[in-house]
């Protein structure tokens, strides 16, 4: 009996460690691969897949374990699904396919030249993972990142980005850039809040008061990483059918993602 | 022997006509023969019991044949021939003194020396006795000489046709009875034209030829021909098709190279095939910057070669300064579109203008030169579409184009001479309804009307035999490395099955779906004035995404495919000539095609050219309209000095500028005679046969002096030569009678 409590404590610690590893690695979301959400998704190959990057959540900034900002699976699967529905309805892009989760450790990401990553403030890579993502971008892949807010998040995002593209220069995307005009002319942009707006009325999170549409370009000036900073497009897609979430946010969020996808398929 | 048996030389029988001189009717011969045969048969049946039936029949046949022979002789057979009258005719003797006649053959004697010796010792005495002999030295033309010994093997070229024309023209003022030509047959103009042959046949002058030199060198490699494109785009990979002939080096490995100013552009190891057989090799090289390029294509000399001067040929390639524009219409955003655009990004020699249907009603344009370009969608007028040099049709259903636009696309290749590339897709080809559109005719493959052909499955690609030699699919410079590279190429993301290639189409790559039959992936063909390609996949982007980012195979492939599409697309003014390197020949026939903006022929244009000569001086030339082909203007220019020439051509009509074009060419002297230096026996034999003459070798040329008199040219008289007294006739009679007698003795019926 004397050993019962220590043994129990050790067991609980082991279980917690395993769970923690699992959470860090995958969050609590489904595994990678194609996933049918509802009857609108066909189990058929397609030209375009809405591919979500599954990455490891790490110890941002090297200052210890951080839970804030969530993992790769936030808003999954509704946000992705809603995006696809709009894409199918409004463009000629062939995408009857199911949702797609692409693991950072899987070379098959090369078959999906467009990827979406969310909550990137806490992403962390091994050298091999960073190299894979770097190759993906260098070969012609396009990465859209979303939902991170304030200076701390930015610093941690850039720490991960620095591993992927060490010499990357981040710049604001000018209004005249083709990415805002290839499908819709998006001349007016504003901060797109997450679902918390419904209860708080705040469009910002943390100290991320000013939204920024930023990017990293390749040597030919083409956008290869589109950065949606101080905004949460994923929530705007996910809650587009909620009567309390303002339509104007969802409308802009959809127009932006459709423009970004079109850009990724034409540039 | 022949003359002993037949009394006359063979030429009498080949050129003469059989006549029967007896006044009795010819029909009497078969009548009498029939009667004799019947009589002999009756005689045979009377004594039928003495020998067997077969033996009786043989005796009857021998007797009947003898009667037939006697009857034939009684009717006085003779050969009627035309004979040149002694001392009244001229015989022209042409002695080839081109450089190839200076070659020393295995008998350790130069060909010209052998010819001069033959002429002096055997021919001239016999000819001079009966004819007036005119001696000519022959190289580029026939020039009268007094003495054969004065000729040296220094002629830069041999033009047998031109020389014969010259002699034929002179025959109007003299009784020319025959021509004797002593030559190795090494004609540098590619043969004797029909016009010359028919002119000689008209005046009935036989050309007797005496061939010198071996038919093949014991050890020699020769570049027979090298075909290169006349035009190319800057920094293009061009393909040369090289014809090689060799003797004495079967199965030997040699180095085939392309060089410019001594700098190697490409070196390729090849294995030589069997002796005297011509083999064809493809050689690919990068041509470099804009401007005229003089490329030496050759094989490095091999130890023991008898003639190394025929190992290299020079060819000229004009690298254009123009920047062709390609219009790419895509029916939907897709990865192939993106990656094609990226592939061409670093190519400053091509402009890719694209339009992609992003939604049902929106078109996104890229690479346009002004906001107005393609503002109203795909062009509806020929003058708007024909400003482009190439056209790519992506995943666009046929009915998206109006019937007029479908015809326009067809005319883009057919009339305008542009290149059209069709890409696979879910609404392309069969699924796109192309089978029932005018565009189906353009496709290099057959497509079905209603099958499911579009497959989103990854598949392996493979080069065909033709693809291994083609510049479009040459990613690696080295042929073998290129083949290996394609074997390791990532699979394409999708494909569309198509039918068999049409006649004239070439399949360069196949798609090999797992567990299914290979199907054409990349097929090309000429169509009208232009060319058409089909790529039955929209998934080559995997070649980029699944290889290291520094790998250029995807961009090289697309760059080369699209360069092929537009390199030969003409402008409104197009200058052409048969060959741009003139070997010891200054004659340059020029042709200029003049078209308007809709690429219809323009008549009544003023076409002028400024020729910049090798010495820097320039001259103006005018071209005259071709009487038969509308829109074609021609002239014959003579480049009298060796070196590089540039011709700037300009076409105008009613002061409006219709367009310009530039042509460069070279004249090279002293090279032609190094090629085809062995005896061209076939050419000499054919020349003699076509004109009624005879081909001789130096060893049997002695009989020429007897046979030459038989000719229908000049001043001649017909003679009847008796043949009843030929020894062979008596021999036949003796044989018939003797064999019958011997057999009778043997059978005991004498």
Q: What integer pLDDT is reported at residue B199 of this predicted model?
A: 85
Is the model's pLDDT at A186 over the cut of 50? yes
Q: Distance from CA of residue B336 to its chain's centroid?
A: 41
Can you read off the two tokens belonging to residue A5? 């409590």
Residue A1 C-alpha, separation from nearest chain B C-alpha, in angstroms? 60
Q: What integer pLDDT is reported at residue B656 of this predicted model?
A: 93
Residue B360 C-alpha, separation from nearest chain A C-alpha, in angstroms? 7
A196 touching B (Cβ < 8 Å):
no
CATH class label, B573-672: mainly beta
- Best of B348, B352, B359, B396 to disrupt the A interface (most A CBs within 10 Å) is B359
- HEC string of chain A equals CCCHHHHHHHHHHHHHHHHHHHHHHHCCCCCCEEECCCCCCCCCCCCCCCEEEECEECCHHHCCCCCCCCCCCCCCCHHHHHHHHHHHHHCCCCCCCCEEEEECCCHHHHHCCEEEEECHHHEECCHHHHHHHHHHHHHCCEEEEECCCHHHHHHHHHHHHHHHCCCCCEEECCCCCHHHCCCCCCCCCCCCCCCCHHHHCCCCCCCCCCCEEEEEECCCCCEEEEEEECCCHHHHHHCCCCCCCCHHHHHHHHHHHHHHHHHHHHC
pLDDT tens readout for residues B34-53: 999 999 888 878 776 667 77
- The residue among B404, B408, B360 whose CA lies nearest residue B388 is B408
Q: What integer pLDDT is reported at residue B447 of this predicted model?
A: 96
Among the partner-chain residues A90, A220, A265, the one whose CB lies closest to the CB of B335 is A265
Q: What integer pLDDT is reported at residue A69 of this predicted model?
A: 36
CA angle B669, B592, B189 (to 5 degrees): 30
Comparing B155-159, B300-304, B463-467, B524-528, the range with the smallest average pLDDT is B155-159
Q: In A, which residues are within 8 Å of B335 by CB distance?
A: 47, 113, 265
- Contact yes or no for A263/A224 (Cβ under 8 A): no
Do the Cβ atoms of B338 and A182 come within 8 Å? no
B357 touching A (Cβ < 8 Å):
yes
Total residue count of chain B as it appears in this document = 750
User: Averaged over B657-676, what is the pLDDT?
Assistant: 88
Spatial separation of the C-alpha atoms in residues B266 and B259, rounded to whole Å: 7
Most confident of B224-233, B402-411, B708-717: B402-411
pLDDT tens readout for residues B62-121: 889 999 999 999 999 999 888 888 888 899 999 999 888 988 876 778 999 999 999 999
B364 touching A (Cβ < 8 Å):
yes
Tell me the domain boundaries of chain A: 42-266
Among the partner-chain residues A48, A139, A261, the one whose CB lies closest to the CB of B544 is A139
- CA-CA distances (angstroms) from residue B429 to B340, B442, B699? 19, 12, 68
Do the Cβ atoms of B456 and A93 come within 8 Å? no
Token pair 């008998």 is found at B107
With 0-12 / 13-18 / 19 or more C-beta atoms within 10 angstroms meaning exposed / middle / buried, residue B723 is buried
B500: helix, coil or strand? Answer: coil
**% of residues, chain B, pLDDT over 90:** 62
Do the Cβ atoms of B337 and A266 come within 8 Å? yes
pLDDT tens readout for residues A76-133: 999 999 999 999 999 999 999 889 999 999 999 999 999 999 999 989 999 999 999 9
Do the Cβ atoms of A220 and B345 come within 8 Å? yes
Q: What integer pLDDT is reported at residue A17 of this predicted model?
A: 59
pLDDT tens readout for residues B669-681: 878 778 878 888 9
- Best of B333, B343, B553, B555 to disrupt the A interface (most A CBs within 10 Å) is B333
pLDDT tens readout for residues B599-633: 999 999 999 999 999 999 999 999 999 999 999 99
Q: Determine the residue of chain B that is closest to A88 in CA distance.
A: B359
Is the model's pLDDT at A233 over the cut of 50? yes
Q: In A, which residues are within 8 Å of B549 by CB distance?
A: 135, 138-139
Is the model's pLDDT at B173 over the cut of 90? no
Tell me the torsion sign for CA atoms A182, A188, A193, A195: negative
Which of the two residues, B311 and A70, has the higher pLDDT score?
B311
Fold match between B220-319 and B573-672?
yes
CB contacts < 8 A (A, B)? 80
B563: helix, coil or strand? Answer: helix
Q: What is chain B's mean pLDDT, rounded? A: 91
Do the Cβ atoms of A93 and B333 come within 8 Å? yes
Q: What integer pLDDT is reported at residue A19 of this predicted model?
A: 54
Spatial separation of the C-alpha atoms in residues B49 and B12, rounded to whole Å: 48
Most confident of B202-206, B331-335, B616-620: B331-335
Do the Cβ atoms of B331 and A92 come within 8 Å? yes
Q: What is chain A's mean pLDDT, rounded? A: 88
Cis peptide before A77 (omega within 30 of 0): yes
Is the model's pLDDT at A260 over the cut of 90? yes
CA distance from start to end of chain A:
69
What ipTM was predicted for this assembly? 0.90
Q: In A, which residues are within 8 Å of B357 by CB distance?
A: 92
CATH code for the part of the protein at B325-567: 3.40.50.880
Which of the two residues, B190 and B28, has the higher pLDDT score?
B28
CATH 3.30.450.20 assigned to B86-215+678-714: no
Spatial separation of the C-alpha atoms in residues B337 and A154, rounded to whole Å: 34
Q: Determine the residue of chain A that is closest to B342 in CA distance.
A: A267
CATH 3.40.50.12140 assigned to A42-266: yes
> What is the fold, at CATH topology level, of the domain defined by B220-319?
Immunoglobulin-like (2.60.40)
B338 touching A (Cβ < 8 Å):
yes
Q: What integer pLDDT is reported at residue A26 of this predicted model?
A: 45
pLDDT band at B347 (very low <50, low <70, confident <90, very high): confident
Can you read off the two tokens belonging to residue A93? 């892009």
Q: What integer pLDDT is reported at residue B744 of this predicted model?
A: 82
pLDDT tens readout for residues A63-77: 333 333 347 889 999
Q: In B, which residues are within 8 Å of A93 by CB distance?
A: 332-334
Do the Cβ atoms of A266 and B360 come within 8 Å? no
- In sequence order, which residues have a C-beta less than 8 Å from that of residue B607 and are 6 or more positions away? B573, B592, B594, B622, B623, B633, B649, B650, B651
- Contact yes or no for B610/B620 (Cβ under 8 A): yes
Residue B645 C-alpha, separation from nearest chain A C-alpha, in angstroms? 41
């Amino acid at each position: 009996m004397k050993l019962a409590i220590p043994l129990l404590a050790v067991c609980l610690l082991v279980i917690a460690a395993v769970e923690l590893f699992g959470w860090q690695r995958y969050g609590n979301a489904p595994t990678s691969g194609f996933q049918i959400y509802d009857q609108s998704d066909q189990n058929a190959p397609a030209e375009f897949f809405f591919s979500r990057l599954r990455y490891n959540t790490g110890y941002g900034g090297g200052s210890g374990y951080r839970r804030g900002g969530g993992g790769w699976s936030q808003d999954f699967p509704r946000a992705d699904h809603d995006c696809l529905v709009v894409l199918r309805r409004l463009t000629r892009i062939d995408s009857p396919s199911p949702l797609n989760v692409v693991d950072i450790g899987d070379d098959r990401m090369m078959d999906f030249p467009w990827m979406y990553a969310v909550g990137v403030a806490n992403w962390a890579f091994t050298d091999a993972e960073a190299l894979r993502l770097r190759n993906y971008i260098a070969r012609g892949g396009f990465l859209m990142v979303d939902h991170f807010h304030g200076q701390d998040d930015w610093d941690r995002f850039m720490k991960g980005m620095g591993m992927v593209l060490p010499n990357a220069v981040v710049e604001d995307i000018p209004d005249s850039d083709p990415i805002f005009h290839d499908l819709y002319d998006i001349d007016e942009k504003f901060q797109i809040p997450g679902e918390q707006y419904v209860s708080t009325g705040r469009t910002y999170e943390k100290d991320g008061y000013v939204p920024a549409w930023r990017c990293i370009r390749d040597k030919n000036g083409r956008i290869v990483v589109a950065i949606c900073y101080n905004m949460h497009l994923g929530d705007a897609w996910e809650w587009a059918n909620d009567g309390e979430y303002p339509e104007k946010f969802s409308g802009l969020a959809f127009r932006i993602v459709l423009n970004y996808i079109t850009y990724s398929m034409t540039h | 022997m022949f003359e002993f048996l037949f009394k006359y030389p063979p030429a009498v029988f080949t050129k003469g006509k059989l006549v029967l001189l007896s006044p009795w009717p010819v029909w009497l011969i078969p009548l009498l023969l029939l009667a004799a045969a019947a009589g002999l048969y009756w005689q045979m049946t009377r004594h039928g019991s003495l020998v067997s039936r077969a033996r009786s029949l043989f005796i009857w046949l021998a007797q009947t044949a003898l009667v037939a022979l006697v009857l034939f002789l009684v009717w006085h057979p003779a050969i009627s021939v035309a004979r040149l009258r002694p001392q009244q005719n001229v015989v022209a003797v042409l002695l080839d003194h081109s450089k190839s006649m200076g070659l020393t053959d295995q008998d350790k004697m130069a060909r010209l020396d052998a010819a001069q010796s033959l002429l002096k010792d055997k021919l001239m005495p016999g000819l001079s006795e009966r004819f007036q002999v005119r001696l000519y030295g022959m190289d580029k033309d026939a020039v009268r000489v007094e003495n054969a010994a004065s000729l040296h093997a220094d002629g830069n070229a041999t033009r047998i046709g031109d020389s014969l024309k010259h002699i034929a023209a002179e025959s109007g003022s003299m009784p020319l009875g025959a021509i004797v030509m002593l030559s190795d047959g090494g004609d540098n103009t590619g043969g004797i034209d029909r016009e010359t042959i028919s002119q000689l046949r008209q005046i009935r002058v036989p050309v007797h030829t005496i061939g010198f030199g071996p038919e093949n060198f014991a050890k020699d490699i020769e570049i027979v021909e090298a075909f290169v494109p006349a035009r190319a785009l800057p920094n293009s990979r061009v393909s040369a098709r090289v014809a090689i002939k060799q003797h004495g080096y079967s199965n030997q490995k040699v180095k085939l190279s392309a060089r410019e100013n001594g700098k190697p552009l490409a070196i390729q190891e090849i294995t030589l095939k069997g002796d005297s057989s011509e083999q064809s090799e493809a050689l690919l090289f990068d041509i470099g910057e804009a401007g005229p390029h003089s490329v030496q294509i050759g094989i490095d000399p091999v130890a023991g070669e008898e003639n190394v001067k025929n190992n290299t040929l020079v060819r000229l390639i004009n690298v254009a300064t123009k920047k062709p524009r390609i219009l790419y219409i895509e029916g939907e955003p897709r990865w192939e579109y993106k990656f094609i655009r990226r592939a061409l990004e670093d190519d400053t020699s091509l402009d890719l203008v694209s339009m992609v249907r992003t939604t049902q009603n929106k078109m996104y344009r890229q690479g346009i030169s002004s906001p107005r370009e393609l503002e109203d969608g795909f062009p509806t007028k020929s003058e708007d579409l024909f400003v482009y040099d190439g056209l790519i049709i992506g995943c666009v259903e046929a009915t998206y184009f109006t019937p007029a636009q479908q015809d326009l696309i067809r005319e883009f290749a057919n009339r305008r001479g542009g290149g059209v590339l069709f890409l696979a897709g879910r609404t392309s080809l069969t699924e796109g309804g192309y089978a029932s559109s005018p565009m189906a005719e353009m496709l290099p493959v057959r497509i079905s009307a209603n099958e499911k052909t579009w497959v989103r499955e990854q598949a392996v690609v493979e080069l065909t035999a033709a693809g291994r030699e083609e510049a479009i699919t040459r990613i690696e410079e080295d042929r073998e490395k290129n083949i290996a590279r394609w074997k390791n190429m990532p699979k394409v993301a999708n494909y569309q099955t198509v039918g068999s290639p049409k006649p004239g189409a070439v399949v360069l790559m196949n798609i090999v779906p797992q567990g299914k039959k290979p199907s054409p992936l990349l097929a090309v063909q000429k169509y009208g004035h232009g060319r058409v390609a089909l790529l039955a996949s929209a998934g080559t982007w995997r070649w980029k995404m699944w290889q290291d980012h520094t790998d250029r195979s995807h961009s090289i492939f697309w760059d080369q495919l699209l360069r092929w599409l537009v390199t030969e697309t003409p402008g409104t003014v197009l200058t052409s000539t048969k060959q741009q390197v003139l070997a010891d020949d200054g004659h340059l026939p020029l042709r200029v095609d003049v078209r308007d903006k809709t690429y219809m022929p323009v008549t009544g244009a003023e076409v002028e050219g400024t020729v910049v000569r090798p010495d820097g001086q320039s001259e103006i030339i005018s071209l005259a309209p071709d009487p038969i082909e509308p829109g074609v203007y021609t002239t014959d220019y003579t480049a009298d000095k060796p070196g590089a020439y540039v011709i700037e051509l300009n076409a105008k009509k009613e002061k409006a500028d219709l367009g310009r074009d530039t042509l460069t060419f070279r004249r090279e002297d002293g090279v032609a005679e190094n090629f085809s230096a062995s005896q061209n026996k076939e050419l000499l034999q054919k020349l003699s046969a076509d004109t009624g003459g005879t081909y001789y070798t130096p060893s049997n040329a002695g009989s020429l002096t007897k046979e030459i008199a038989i000719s229908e040219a000049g001043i001649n008289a017909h003679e009847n030569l008796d043949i009843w007294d030929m020894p062979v006739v008596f021999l036949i009679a003796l044989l018939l009678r003797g064999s019958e007698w011997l057999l009778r003795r043997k059978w005991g019926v004498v």
